[in-house]
């Protein structure tokens, strides 16, 4: 009988320990107590697992939590929203039912998402861009969240390594002011909203991100695009379904001379949907744009005057004379050509923007100019 009682006692003790979740951060435990989640109402570094395992939603705001250990036993969580804490690291790989994760302004530098098949919305940037603390994540592994639909990392201020092919059903991406140098979205055909642009004024202003080219030719469902004030020089929107693309903000990009589209005649005539697109005066539309239209491999290569009415002069700091000069329309039509001269007569051209290509030592470099 003694052995039976001893066995039962050991079973009960072991069973009780198995139902306890450790909560080492006192601020986290205090939060659970204040919100009626921790049923023993005592700061003791633990919570009954039964108190948390069926919780569907959890919102933590402006609580000085630094360690969210214990969140792994919130196994039923579908919505987790955390803001203005000091976490640095968050691991939600055990929260496989999570559908919405918002973790903003938390000093976050690392985020583990390798087992979150139900996740549809991820917001981890800094939406209140003038208020700290700030997340500064440099890499996000999305391989465990293949069903992600909405992804927001705006105002992160870092060049985040993201493999978008891991989230093939992505529909919305927000990535302004993230220092991206390149972005590859060719494997995201469902994408309908892409926000990468900057602002002229407000708390945050200036050039957004660091890329020069954006290719969206494989995104036929695109409806809204913001790439203003990114200083891109190449934008390919020839996706076979420009009719769906009703909102385009591509202005404040002085190097963008040409946007590749489905129908250049309709676009240059201002027909729908192109008539509602925001572009700069120097930007034209074409079905085939010249690649590298704003590239300049020879940094000291200059044109003057610009704008020009009759003659365009070409100068290079080392005194080289161009071997050949070519002038193209923005849609790639060769209009003028001349050999071994450092100037060219453009008086025959109609008013508008053109591309001058000059050859030095067998290599061409391009610059845009305005014909008055």
CATH number at residue 339: 2.60.40.1930
CA distance 167 to 197: 22
Q: Are residues 151 and 212 in the same domain?
A: yes
Q: CATH number of the domain that 112 lies in?
A: 3.80.10.10
**Domains identified in the chain, total number:** 3
Top-confidence residue, 284 or 208: 208
356 within domain boundaries = yes
Q: Which of 18, 55, 21 minimizes the C-alpha distance to 40?
A: 21
CA distance 114 to 361: 52
Does some domain include residue 295? Answer: no
Q: How much is the average pLDDT of 157-165?
A: 93
What is the rounded average pLDDT for all residues in the chain? 88
Q: 298 versus 307: which is more confidently predicted?
A: 307
Indicate whether 292 belongs to any domain: no
Residue with tokens 């990468």: 196
Let me know whether 8 and 140 are in one domain.
no
Q: What pTM did the predictor assign?
A: 0.79
Q: CB under 8 Å to 288, separation ≥6 — which residues?
A: 260, 331, 332
Residues 359 and 215 grouped into a single domain: no
Do 212 and 116 fall into the same domain? yes
pLDDT bin (cut points 50, 70, 90) of residue 3 is very low
Q: Are residues 320 and 257 in the same domain?
A: no
The answer to whether residues 142 and 279 belong to one domain is yes
Give the per-residue pLDDT at 203: 63
Q: Are residues 46 and 158 in the same domain?
A: no
Q: How confident is the model at residue 90 (pLDDT cuts 50, 70, 90)?
A: very high
368 backbone dihedrals φ, ψ, rounded to 5°? -95, 150
Q: In this structure, how many other beta carbons lie within 10 angstroms of the beta carbon of residue 227?
A: 28
pLDDT of residue 284: 82
Residue 291 counted as domain residue: no
Q: Is residue 69 part of a domain?
A: yes
Nearest Cα neighbor of 32 from 8, 17, 9, 48 is 48
Give which of 182, 144, 181, 150 is closest to 166, Cα–Cα. 144
293: in domain: no
Do 32 and 170 belong to one domain? no
Do 11 and 150 sit in the same domain of this protein? no
**Are both 76 and 160 inside the same structural domain?**
yes
Q: Is the domain of 310 the same as that of 273? A: no
Q: Are residues 28 and 77 in the same domain?
A: no
Confidence band, pLDDT 50/70/90 cuts, at residue 294: very low
Query: Containing domain of residue 29, as a range?
Result: 1-51
Q: What is the mean pLDDT of residues 130-140?
A: 91
pLDDT: is 286 or 177 the higher one? Answer: 177
Q: Examine the pLDDT at 330 and tell me if it is beyond 80.
A: no
Average pLDDT score over residue span 182-188: 95
- Using pLDDT thresholds of 50, 70 and 90, give the confidence band for residue 202: low
In a domain, 7, yes or no: yes
Would the pLDDT of 14 be above 50?
no
What is the percentage of the chain residues whose pLDDT exceeds 90?
A: 63
Residue 294 lies in a domain: no
């Amino acid at each position: 009988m003694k052995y039976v009682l001893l066995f039962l006692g050991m079973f009960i003790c072991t069973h009780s320990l198995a139902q306890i979740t450790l909560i080492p951060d006192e601020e986290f435990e205090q939060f659970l107590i204040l919100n009626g989640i921790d049923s023993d109402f005592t700061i003791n570094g633990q919570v009954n697992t039964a108190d948390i395992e069926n919780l569907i939603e959890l919102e933590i705001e402006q609580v000085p939590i630094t360690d969210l250990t214990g969140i792994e036993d919130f196994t039923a969580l579908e919505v987790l929203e955390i803001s203005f804490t000091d976490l640095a690291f968050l691991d939600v790989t055990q929260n496989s039912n999570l559908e919405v994760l918002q973790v903003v302004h938390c000093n976050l530098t690392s985020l583990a998402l390798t087992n979150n098949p139900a996740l549809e919305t991820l917001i981890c940037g800094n939406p209140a861009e003038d208020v700290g603390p700030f997340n500064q994540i440099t890499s996000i592994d999305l391989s465990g969240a293949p069903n992600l639909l909405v992804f927001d990392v705006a105002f992160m201020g870092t060049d985040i390594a993201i493999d978008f092919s891991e989230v093939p059903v992505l529909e919305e991406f927000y990535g302004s002011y993230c220092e991206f140098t390149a972005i590859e979205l060719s494997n995201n055909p469902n994408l309908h909203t892409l926000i990468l642009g900057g602002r002229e004024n407000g708390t945050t202003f200036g050039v957004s991100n660091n890329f020069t080219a954006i290719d969206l030719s494989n995104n036929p469902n695109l409806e809204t695009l913001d790439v203003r004030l990114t200083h891109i020089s190449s934008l390919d929107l020839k996706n076979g379904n420009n009719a769906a693309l009703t909102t385009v903000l591509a202005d404040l990009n002085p190097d963008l001379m040409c946007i590749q589209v489905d129908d250049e005649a309709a676009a240059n005539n201002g027909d729908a949907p192109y008539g509602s697109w925001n572009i700069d005066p120097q930007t034209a539309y074409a079905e085939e744009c010249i690649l590298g239209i704003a590239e300049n491999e020879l940094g000291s290569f200059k044109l003057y005057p610009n704008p020009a009415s009759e003659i365009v002069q070409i100068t290079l700091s080392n005194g080289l004379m161009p071997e050949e000069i070519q002038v193209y329309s923005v849609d790639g039509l060769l209009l003028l050509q001349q050999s071994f001269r450092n100037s060219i007569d453009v008086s025959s051209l109609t008013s508008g923007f053109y591309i001058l290509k000059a050859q030095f030592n067998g290599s061409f470099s391009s610059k845009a100019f305005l014909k008055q």
